[in-house]
Amino acid sequence: MMGSARKELGAWGEEVATQYLMEKGYRILARNWKTKIGEIDIVAQDRVAIVFVEVKTRQSTRYGYAEEAVGFKKQQTLRQLARSYLRYTHQDGAHYRIDVIAIMPALVGAPPEIRHIIDAVGD
């Protein structure tokens, strides 16, 4: 897949994930929050925690499930980013978790497949 098509798919997936979270009652705090070490796709608040969400969108499972792309190194980066966000927003002691939302487009006219893995990246 070419770079711009991949970016478009990723942006679409993040929009789907944002809508999904809002429908589930989450409040969106930030999208595409960046530092020099990386980016958090979505920062949201649920009833009890600040939730950092990594969104993975794939066209197919040919190369595995989308959530499988969140390997050890990415998990370490997500933990660092989460702590950075909490420091930056003066919420150091806040309860947080890191979720992964995997999205795959469905057939035309059908809703996309959404898998929400809660607390996918332990501390």
Domains of the chain: 3-117 (3.40.1350.10)
Residue 75: pLDDT over 90: yes
What's the one-letter identity of residue 79? R
Please give the structure tokens belonging to residue 14: 């993040």
Q: Please tell me the pTM assigned to this model.
A: 0.91
Residue 40: pLDDT over 80: yes
Burial classification of residue 123, based on how many CB atoms lie within 10 Å of its CB (0-12 exposed, 13-18 middle, 19 or more buried): exposed
Identify the band that residue 2 occupies on the pLDDT scale cut at 50, 70 and 90: low
Listing DSSP states for 42-61 in one string gives: EEEE-SS-EEEEEEEE-S-S
Identify the band that residue 50 occupies on the pLDDT scale cut at 50, 70 and 90: very high
Average pLDDT of the chain is 91
Identify the band that residue 4 occupies on the pLDDT scale cut at 50, 70 and 90: confident
Q: Tell me the percentage of the chain whose pLDDT exceeds 90.
A: 67
Distance from C-alpha of 71 to C-alpha of 45, rounded to nearest angstrom: 24
